[in-house]
Amino acid sequence: MAIPTPGRPVRGSRSGAPIMALFDLLGRRWGMGILWRLSEGPCTFRELQTRCETISPTILNRRLKELREALLIERCADGYKLTDLGAELYGLLVPLGSYARTWAACLRAETDEA
């Protein structure tokens, strides 16, 4: 699957709105998860596979290719790492971490009362 290109039709925008292209890319399975795990530090393919806990090498490899093409990650001596552009994106995802805990608490509360 080719990477979504801003300016060309993407899922959610026939005109290729950048945000929709980004959502299309990050919305692929494991997309954000890989960025998140890689933010813990550069690592090898196999180490990344371990960090992701349940990813298959097939899909890890495909996402890595896409994310490299999208300039978010790159190869290095230790295997793979975030580019500056990727690190910047990661920075925007960080707040989702604490939000997720709030969200989880709400879900639990809802489930309990039901």
Residues near DNA (CB under 7 A): 1, 11, 28-30, 44-47, 54-59, 61-62, 64, 75, 79
Q: Work out whether 43 is an interface residue with a second copy (CB under 8 A).
A: no
CA dihedral 79→95→86→12, nearest 10 degrees, is: 120
Minimum gap (Å) between residue 75 Cβ and a second copy:
16
- CA-atom Rg of the chain in angstroms: 16
Q: At what angle do helices 31-38 and 57-69 cross, to 10 degrees?
A: 80
Angle (CA) 27 111 114, round 5°: 135
Interface mask (CB under 8 A) for a second copy, residues 7-36, using x and -?
x---xxxx--xxxxxxx--xxxxxxxx--x
- Residues at the interface with a second copy (CB under 8 A): 5-7, 11-14, 17-23, 26-33, 36-37, 52-55, 70-71, 85, 88-89, 92, 95-97, 99-104, 106-108, 110
